[in-house]
Structure 1
Amino acid sequence: MTPPLDISRRQFLTASAVTAGAALLAGCSPAATASGTQTLQFWHLLSGGDGVIMSSLLDGVNKAQDAYRIRPTVLAWGTPYYTKLAMAAAGGRAPDVAVMHATRVLGWAPGGLLDAWDLDRLAELGVDERTFPKPIWQKGEVDGEHLSIALDAHPFVLMYNTDICEKAGVLDSDGQLMRASTPEEFLDLVTAVAEASEGHGLSYGYLGDGAQMWRLFYTLYAQHGTEMKLPEGGEAEIDTDVAVESLTYMQTLLDGKLAAKQSDYGTAVAEFSTGKSGLFLTGVWELRTMQDAGIPFDVAPIPPIFGTPAAYADSHSFVLPHQTRPNEQRRDLTYQFVADMLKGSFDWATAGHIPAYLPVTESPEYQDLLPQAHYAEAATYVVYDPPAWFTGSGSNFQSEFGAAAQPALLSGSDPAAAIERFTSRVNRFLSQPNPADPEGSRS
């Protein structure tokens, strides 16, 4: 079985050795302008609408001061990005700062591919645990060190067409979606919306998309007040009863009337964006899509139908790729850059993401930003992938969940068998060493 990482251990070690020399040469290039302004190298993986807004934010911080200038490098999302960043970090002369998904950080920690953030240094700039929602701040800590600082949270949410939902009688006196508090109440709500819609009550695309299946499944799983634990070298600790109940509920929604039994992500986007369905389970990243579509819609957190508020999410986070001999002046300016980005992240919310910096989301201006303010509470109860070196956005872990779960969602076959298949695959992952861990590479 192929190790569930972007590259194999042998490929990683070989490529790292080759890249180290190139990285050292790259680090010798001038890093300051004639005026004394330091140039900071910043790698990220944001493209499309996110990329446009990120460029605008970078232009803003560049123009606001003369101490540093950001030189961004944009690489393809997923495997290409993480592979190149890992190899640059292994060479010891990586960019000054980079963006990673918070869920991918743990896999890098054992190999020393990331430098820890100095929390005292950040606190002097107005960035500390008091300025972040608790789960988002805590996600940045690995083995007692803070390895990432979140720019945002981008949770799974429930979008709804306000015209259709008004027709269905499921809006409250404020014109917002009634919040179901039990599985039965949510089914009743979706049923009412289905009767008022041209197509389905709920759009949810999942075919061939393990990440989509996982996002909804783990939201429902976490709403039971439990979490998965994946101890290194051990066996997965998964509450089978909760997992089966969560997957069974997904089957119930995909009955062909409430939601299409067979729908890929693009089809679900098209159905909701053209006004043919009243509800849409998706990520906040589709906010701009629906605004551009011109439909009347709002956004709500996924209701806590199993008792505990929870929403699957990830975070775009700032990391310090390892540098063998960091330039302390540029390192100081890197801290300043991150603080500037956090404090100026209001416009990042226009992409749909929830800014992680509380002074932004608690500001009067943000409360007037709609529909973003209607789902901002989700940042206080986001849940991330269970920590393990092989989990996270774009990982094979999520793909393997999809491979196990999709047959059950398509055919209505035994969800318990699907969970058993998934657990078996996770246990195989756990039996393999982290390719980025020097100790594991010798085993």
Structure 2
Amino acid sequence: MARRSTMLSRRGLLTGAAAIGGAAAIGGAAALSGGLSACGAAGATGAADQIQFWTPLSGGDGGTMAEMVTKATQGAAYDVKTTTLVWGEPYYTKLAMAATGGRPPELAIMHASRMPGYAPGGLLDSWDVGRLAELGVSEDDFPAEIWKKGLSGDKLFAVALDAHPTVLMFNPEICDKAGVLDSDGKLLPTESPEAFIDLISQVGGQTKDTPPLSYGYLGDGAQMFRIFYTFYTQHGAAMTFPEGGKAEIDDDIAIESLQLMQTLLDGKLAVQRNDYAAALAEFATGRSGLLFTGVWELRSVKEAGVPFDMTAIPTLFGTPTTYADSHAFVLPHQNDPDEHRRDLTYRFVADLLKGSYDWATAGHVPAYLPVTQSPDYAKLTPQSHYADVAEQVVYDPEAWFTGSASNFQSNFGNAVQPALMSGKDAPGAIDAFRARVDRLLTTRNPVDPDGTWKP
């Protein structure tokens, strides 16, 4: 796709950026009205050898990234000024405004699932894959699906730092007593819903007052969609959302996937109505033996001091898939990029990728294969136990309104949460989800000036 020179007007931006998260950011224009100057002030205004780098990473992730930046810049011919902004829709709104206003940073972190909403509208510049290859970063250095996710058309717009999949944590002490571990201390394989339910039930014999599987979802559409789409894609199916058309969803597979979630949430295998924090606390205090969660919880569970290990969610419907997203490096669009700074940006990204062993301490799986295939990584536990999940990741269905921190997953949660709470009417929940997606598909991408969808 050729780079588009058309730029949005300020009025169009205030209308459009508010809708980036899913065409439903009520009051977004008011929230953005003072943002253009602020974004410009944080843009590319530093010294000739200074790279402006925006991230939404805070907490432990932010500290780890700061350490990686420090290591990468020691003795380097460049400096990096990192700006950490509020995670979620405010971050993506500011990024869109900065790129449109002509004062973006040289580099930013974006969830790979959000790229389709930005690249077609000209808010990102593509990467020169030849220059990356000269620096030791090429397609062969990444799992196929992770590299592919960074493409829009035949151009690369996002270079993945990691995969952060949904996984199954387990307490090896509880699971050993339940007899569900093999001689290597791994969970026994289960290849069907029935076998998985049987394994959970066996673990339940050791957890007494608490159901054996912890899974929190109340008010958390992302948490609901992660498990649902893992089960859905394990059928070998996908969802397609053609702009201006109708959602292409296999109803039978969607209903079966949702019904399995209902079966797990029967009050005996898992608490029927639980939120994310409560489910995490169950596992982190040793009251349950299994936990559906993301790799990003590795630190919090480790700090709790409970014995734990991590593995892929079992393949229950034949096709090994796991829902995930990726933190990725993007080049916010610049009308007239400084070629010297841009080259330094390439060098910085290559240095971060090569030093991403440290990023694994946050639980994420580094996307750069020379790291995860190294002898040092093989000794890293439990991270090395689930590194192969990066080879089977699936992302949100591709559309301008999907992805992390968008309203798409909230819409899914609003449609299916009543069915999970009641254990009833999975078909009605899927119908409601389809209707919500179909409404979004009639809405034009607010950051694509000509309204043409180019996946």
Q: Residue 9 of structure 1: CA displacement? A: 9.9
5+ residue gaps, structure 2, are: 1-17
Q: Residue 80 of structure 1: CA displacement? A: 1.3
Q: Where does residue 121 of structure 2 map in the other structure?
A: 111
Q: Residue 200 of structure 1: CA displacement? A: 1.2
Q: Which amino acid aligns with 1:293?
A: A
1:84-115 Cα shifts (integer Å, max 9, x gaps): 11100111220000000000110012221000
Q: Residue 413 of structure 1: CA displacement? A: 1.6
Q: Residue 253 of structure 1: CA displacement? A: 0.2
CA contact (8 A) 1:230 1:387 kept: yes
Q: Where does residue 241 of structure 2 map in the other structure?
A: 230
1:325-383 Cα shifts (integer Å, max 9, x gaps): 11100000000000000000001001000000000000000001000111011000100
Q: Aligned pair count?
A: 434
Q: Where does residue 315 of structure 1 map in the other structure?
A: 326
RMSD over equivalenced CA pairs, Å: 2.1
| Distance change (3 Å), C-alpha of 1:157 and 1:21 | closer
Matched, 1:56 2:67: yes
Q: Where does residue 251 of structure 1 map in the other structure?
A: 262
Matched, 1:99 2:109: yes
Match of residue 31, structure 1, among 47, 63, 82: 47
1:266-317 Cα shifts (integer Å, max 9, x gaps): 0001000000000000000000111101111100100101111000000000
Q: Residue 143 of structure 1: CA displacement? A: 1.8
- Aligned 1:374-413 pairs, distance under 5 A: 374-413=385-424
Q: C-alpha separation between the residues in 2 aligned to 1:257 and 1:18?
A: 51
CA contact (8 A) 1:254 1:409 kept: yes
CA contact (8 A) 1:157 1:299 kept: yes
Matched, 1:137 2:147: yes
Match of residue 71, structure 1, among 70, 78, 81: 81
CA contact (8 A) 2:161 2:327 kept: yes
CA contact (8 A) 1:361 1:376 kept: yes
Q: Which amino acid aligns with 1:89?
A: A
Q: C-alpha separation between the residues in 1 aligned to 2:20 and 2:41?
A: 32
Range moving further from structure 2, 11-20 or 192-201:
11-20
Q: C-alpha separation between the residues in 1 aligned to 2:35 and 2:238?
A: 39
CA contact (8 A) 1:6 1:83 kept: no
SS at match of 1:438: coil
Q: Where does residue 161 of structure 2 map in the other structure?
A: 151
CA contact (8 A) 1:220 1:306 kept: yes
Q: C-alpha separation between the residues in 1 aligned to 2:70 and 2:59?
A: 17
SS at match of 1:309: coil
Q: Where does residue 295 of structure 1 map in the other structure?
A: 306
Matched, 1:5 2:15: no
Q: Residue 194 of structure 1: CA displacement? A: 1.1
Q: Where does residue 183 of structure 1 map in the other structure?
A: 193
1:188-246 Cα shifts (integer Å, max 9, x gaps): 00000111113111000000100000000000000000100001111100000000000
CA contact (8 A) 1:223 1:307 kept: yes
- Aligned 1:190-205 pairs, distance under 5 A: 190-198=200-208, 199-205=210-216
Q: Where does residue 352 of structure 2 map in the other structure?
A: 341
Q: C-alpha separation between the residues in 1 aligned to 2:324 and 2:292?
A: 13
Q: C-alpha separation between the residues in 1 aligned to 2:424 and 2:373?
A: 46
